[in-house]
Chain A
């Protein structure tokens, strides 16, 4: 990245691009973190949902983009975070903050067990198996009625306690986006670390090979399971925050459909970069909200139908025409402009 020795046109341009990117990120951060102070309740609630989905998608970017494992189980770990935190506060009577951390720890341990068993498999089979595990989880919370409330879910989950007199929605918004920011920084550091390099070698999706990695002395299982656990813990923290935010949870939120939607977000945003997770979540949630608000009025029909069609169309279009996702769009446009010049 750092070709500073040569001061030809290209590096000057690269330097300019870097400055431009920094300015863009700075402005983005400023806009996001002041949002609850100048925007209305509706945009803030949508931005909060984007934050929750970004957390889920960021975990998947580490797991899929970096470790090369196609997993369709993020909704399950999100649900574990939500349900464990809800059970600890509602049924056990624990305060909400420790319950978030206990839920994350429990989910991490479960994910380590699950990951250790299923990550011996390779390729797209892993997607099929995580999908099945997610479905089993859904059936379990549906049938454990006396504990989880079954199909009706759980109500009366307490709020998080915090000092100051910020409105609760603004507080949750800031907290969620702080988590997103922390995960972005964490992801960037992992990519540039020893683990990140090891993961790139074993990433079968970007031309790596697990056999090569093993020959190089990399313990592939250790790295794959670690990535799986980190993604699960991300999701669990997100799920706990979600439970304390909405204060009502039901099993259908954590059905396999959400796992698939998170994967679609990552693909649409761009699987190779943590930014892709945030971009994908933003694009997809905005599409959903616009369609929910407009389509049933203009075109009629039930809510929820148009967004399903849109998800399908956007996913197929991305895979066929923009395989590196929306993140690569500016680069692509620039290349095309240069080519036509």
Chain B
């Protein structure tokens, strides 16, 4: 085993891990506040990428394009909550999950109508060149992906820990009835959670597109991988979701680097699935004894 191969795998694993962590965080915010398993999270990521690509093609500079994409995708998140989830908010968990599936299908179909089936990509942000390090190559976009995730995590910590609105969201997640009693509207908080998740997804989508490309059908696999990452780490804590994401990314990259070709996707998912089945409460279980 050559050092450079391992280093290469670790570096691309870290990058992939950040992508899955970002996906997991979106799932975590929605699940925490509304107890909805949002199977459309991958579609937010896909939309964020597609819209950024198109805006760039129209000549909009990169960062305004991303901001605009985030705004549009956030709006679709708000639509999902207000018109699909909110009317059925008292329904069972599976009904709510299937409502998000319906939304995901509609988004996927509309994307196919508007953009066609072609894969699209962006150049690395600000034309960042590839970095060579002890025989390993880091794609120019990789540091952006890692940076985006760190920024996302820091932003969420600040928001949930330091701001009034973030605390209200947490209150709603921990104790919906109590939160309602002191005047926090669960409906507003639910809407906010979906908007945050959509925005996180859009940022992630724009950032990963130069690395992974995007097309109308990338949403479902992304959702499943984010879900698995969140399950493995523990859906009840942000740290768990991030840990799960990094674990999935590293497993995927290491099996791609070390195993016979072709099987890495199946192997990585299987390993993570086994970890989850061995520890079904997640590697970092909830602080309190939360039962669903």
Contacts and interface: CB of A to CB of B under 8 A. Distances in A.
B224 A319 contact: no
B94 A311 contact: no
B101 A315 contact: yes
Interface string A130-171: 011101100110110100000000000000000000000000
A166 to B, nearest CB: 38
B4 interface: no
Given A143-B262, A143-B263, A313-B106, A319 B88 contact: yes
Contacts of A132: 224, 227-228, 269, 273
A146 to B, nearest CB: 10
B93 interface: yes
A205 B269 contact: no
A221 B227 CA distance: 25
Nearest to A131: B224
B47 to A, nearest CB: 14
B148 interface: no
Contacts of A319: 88, 91, 95, 98-99, 102
A124 to B, nearest CB: 5
A264 B101 contact: yes
B113 A263 contact: no
B262 A316 contact: no
B112 A320 contact: no
Nearest to B112: A305
A98 interface: no
Interface residues of A, number: 47
Interface in B93-141: 93-95, 97-99, 101-110, 112-113, 116-117
A307 B95 CA distance: 21
Contacts of A125: 231, 280
B183 interface: no
A184 to B, nearest CB: 24
Contact of B280 (A121, A136, A143, A315): A121
B292 A123 contact: yes
B231 A323 contact: no
A323 B90 CA distance: 13
Interface in A275-327: 301-302, 304-316, 319-320, 323
B112 A302 contact: yes
A139 B98 contact: no
A323 B95 CA distance: 9
A128 B91 CA distance: 19
Contact of A129 (B95, B102, B117, B273): B273
B220 interface: yes
Contacts of B220: 256-257, 260
B86 to A, nearest CB: 11
A129 B99 CA distance: 18
A250 to B, nearest CB: 15
Given A136-B270, A312-B108, A316-B103, 12 more contacts: A121-B280, A123-B292, A124-B37, A139-B265, A301-B112, A302-B113, A306-B109, A308-B108, A311-B102, A315-B105, A316-B102, A320-B87
20 contacts: A120-B280, A123-B94, A127-B94, A132-B227, A132-B273, A135-B269, A136-B266, A260-B220, A264-B98, A264-B101, A302-B112, A305-B112, A308-B106, A308-B109, A311-B109, A312-B104, A312-B105, A315-B99, A315-B105, A316-B103
In the complex, the 7 A-B pairs of residues with the closest C-beta atoms, listed nearest first: A308-B109, A312-B106, A312-B105, A309-B109, A143-B262, A315-B102, A316-B102
